[in-house]
Amino acid sequence: MVTRRVLNRALLSRQLLLDRSATDPLTAIGRVAGLQAQSPNPPYFGLWSRLDQFALADLTELIETRQVVRVALMHGTAQLVAARDAPGLRHVVQPALHDALLATHGERLRGAPLTEVARVTRELVEDIPRTIADLGAELAARWPDVPVTSLTAAARTEVALVPVPPGGTWGAVGQPAWTTLSAWLNHPHPPTSTVADLVEWYLSAYGPATLDDIRAWSGLLGLSEIVEDVNLRLVRLRGEDGAELFDIPDARLPDEDEPAPARYLAEFDNALQAHDDRARIMYDDDRKAIFATPGVVPGVVLVDGFTQGTWKITRSGKSAYLVVRPFAQIPTRDVHELTEEGLRLLAFAAPDASTHDVRFNSR
């Protein structure tokens, strides 16, 4: 039987949160199955919390040299992934993205053939990278009877788009210009990835997990046949609640008593959102607080591997403050550890500030 605490330690270990890794950022991004990139800065925080040595310039260089890309994948959310993986991943999730587009915008898009919207989008952004607003204006000129929000949704769904640097890099402001993933990567060979590849990738980064967990993360249906495929050789386990869990062969399961250092998770961090049952990392009351505002996932503090509060960096003059808002009283020893870790985070994120301070404020 696999207890909740074992699942917690397994998740932290595979997400490089149990022990910081000495690996390079590009390898780390692949090992954790990508990083949430709803806005430019969170992937930088995500790597800082996972790696022994990491500087802002390390990730910016990977983005600028086209080794990693920010592209809409699972559920249409922006993910930062290795460029070599991106075309295959997008190919696998594309049917689910297409179905979601039709469910939301299908009626409003009746006057705009999706194949034609995709063709025009490619021509426009591969000719000159454009902001979504500019792209929408061009598309609206061709299909004036279709809402522009539906047209841009179709463009972003039917065509894999990536922001052109400085879009997507640390501190980027304003609307980025976009081009196609294919053009940005110099039109690579057609992807050969499969749904089975995606399942293995997920389990290597988030397993053991239930079938519902895999569905919740990927947005894909019909996965029962995939996990039953003998060629995958998936291991079957049983959770303490009786749920059937799947895992890749020979994957390590840490001891449930293995120490879990205090960690600051980035906004939208995938470690918080990659399962249908999130009890392996957060309590029910915490979940309500973390996801209180639709479309917003704050930075979260982990103590003993579980959510214990939220955090945010604020600036005042030449000073930078990391404000922690605990969900409940934090033991003194953990406050000391969070303070030390928080000061290191401030040194990373706000090196220009003359003073750094970590503050614990109740709600």
* Residue-wise DSSP of 224-239: HHHHH-GGG--EEEEB
pLDDT averaged over every residue in the chain: 96
The answer to whether the CB of 151 falls within 8 A of the CB of 140 is yes
Sign of CA dihedral 312, 315, 318, 319: negative
**What is the per-residue pLDDT for 323?**
97
Question: Which H helix or E strand runs over 95?
Answer: helix 86-105
Residues 287, 314 contacting (CB under 8 angstroms): no
**CB-side exposure of 216: number of CA atoms within 13 Å?**
15
- Please tell me the predicted confidence (pLDDT) of residue 236: 96
Check if the beta carbon of residue 178 is closer than 8 Å to that of residue 131.
yes
- Under 8 Å between Cβ of 34 and 79: yes
Could you tell me which residues are beta bridge partners of residue 36? 79
Sign of the CA dihedral 279, 284, 287, 293? Answer: positive
Could you list the beta-strand ranges (E) of the chain.
Answer: 35-36, 68-72, 78-82, 161-163, 178-180, 235-238, 244-247, 263-265, 299-303, 306-316, 319-326, 355-360
**pLDDT given for residue 230 in this prediction:** 67
What is the per-residue pLDDT for 363?
A: 58
Kindly calculate the radius of gyration of the chain based on its CA atoms and give it in whole angstroms: 21
- Read off φ and ψ for residue 275, nearest 5 degrees: -130, 150
Please give the pLDDT value at position 231.
76
Phi, psi (degrees; rounded to nearest 5) at 109:
-100, 10
How many whole angstroms separate alpha carbon 331 and alpha carbon 26? 36
Neighbours of 118 (CB within 10 A): 16
Low-confidence ranges of the chain (pLDDT < 50): none
pLDDT at 232: 85
Per the document, the length of the chain is 363
Token pair for residue 82? 């290795």
pLDDT at 2 (0 to 100): 97
- Residue 217 sits at φ, ψ, to 5 deg, of -75, -45
Tokens (6 digits) for 164: 């052109």
Give the predicted TM-score (pTM) of the model. Answer: 0.96
Distance CA(288)–CA(5), nearest Å, equals 21
